[in-house]
Copies of this chain bind each other. A is one copy, B any other.
């Protein structure tokens, strides 16, 4: 409940090894997760996966208006997606990491509705949507899984709406940190010590706050012993209390 206040985990809780062990092309992407896919199915899935593609830090994977051809599974790296409002200002709508799927917003109108930019040098797999669709019709398990992923994205965004519509700055920021931590944990990385791949500005934009506010919040969290911060490296010194702040249980710090 407290964690669901923010974008839910995008990865089901799986032993990461299982994912790594399998799927020739995309050692870790979401489409390989479906439980119950037999080997033959796995192979068919592998076959439709298009080319692997490297995306340099700062490079654009797709932009608003691009025709929709493929979904992208992130193999390695981090991305941000953002919208452009009519004044040309950005609104970051999400940060994505290894194992997550990009481009699902484009299905509705055959055009991408947001820009996607790599936050660091990254690898993705192209998944041509036309091929995927054919496969989905044949493979009920994969179909079910695909629907889960789309639905999960809907749920994630509802969490962000809650965050933006309902929470104070401190709570938003705590929720952001806790969410990152749980996603790294699900991937087998440390949930208490990691690099922020995004700038203060990008965090602020995502959370509906200014860069100065983010900076002040980091300082406040540092002072109150919740975080150790050194540039973009952060360490969670008191995850429980951070979760409590996210949940709104612990209000002032």
Residues of A within 8 A of B (CB): 1-2, 4-5, 8, 83, 85-87, 89, 91-93, 104-109, 113-114, 133, 136-138, 140, 143-144, 147-155, 157-162, 164-167, 205-208, 246-249
CA distance A4 to B83 in the complex (A): 10
CB of B107 within 8 A of CB of A158, answer no
Which of B114, B155, B167, B206 is A158 in contact with, Cβ under 8 Å? B114
CB of A148 within 8 A of CB of B107, answer yes
23 examples of A-B residue contacts, CB within 8 angstroms: A8-B108, A83-B158, A85-B162, A86-B246, A86-B248, A89-B166, A91-B165, A91-B166, A93-B158, A104-B151, A105-B154, A107-B150, A107-B151, A108-B148, A108-B149, A108-B151, A109-B148, A114-B158, A137-B138, A137-B143, A153-B154, A157-B160, A164-B208
Which of B89, B114, B140, B166 is A137 in contact with, Cβ under 8 Å? B140
Which of B4, B86, B154 is A157 in contact with, Cβ under 8 Å? B154
Question: Known contacts A83-B162, A85-B166; is A155 also within 8 Å of B113 by CB?
Answer: yes
Question: Known contacts A133-B143, A167-B85; is A155 also within 8 Å of B105 by CB?
Answer: yes
Q: What are the residues of chain B within 8 A of A165 when measuring CB–CB? A: 91-92, 164, 205-208
CA distance A139 to B106 in the complex (A): 21
State the Cβ distance, A99 to closest chain B Cβ, in Å: 15
Which of B8, B85, B161, B249 is A160 in contact with, Cβ under 8 Å? B161
Q: What are the residues of chain B within 8 A of A85 when measuring CB–CB? A: 5, 162, 166-167, 248
Question: Known contacts A93-B158, A113-B158; is A106 also within 8 Å of B151 by CB?
Answer: yes
Q: What are the residues of chain B within 8 A of A152 when measuring CB–CB? A: 108-109
CB of A249 within 8 A of CB of B86, answer yes
A-B contacts besides A86-B247, A92-B165, A113-B155, 19 pairs, CB < 8 Å: A85-B162, A85-B248, A86-B246, A86-B249, A89-B166, A104-B150, A105-B154, A105-B155, A106-B151, A107-B147, A108-B148, A108-B151, A133-B143, A137-B140, A137-B143, A157-B157, A157-B158, A164-B165, A165-B207
CA distance A85 to B109 in the complex (A): 32
CA distance A85 to B147 in the complex (A): 25
Q: What are the residues of chain B within 8 A of A137 when measuring CB–CB? A: 136-138, 140, 143
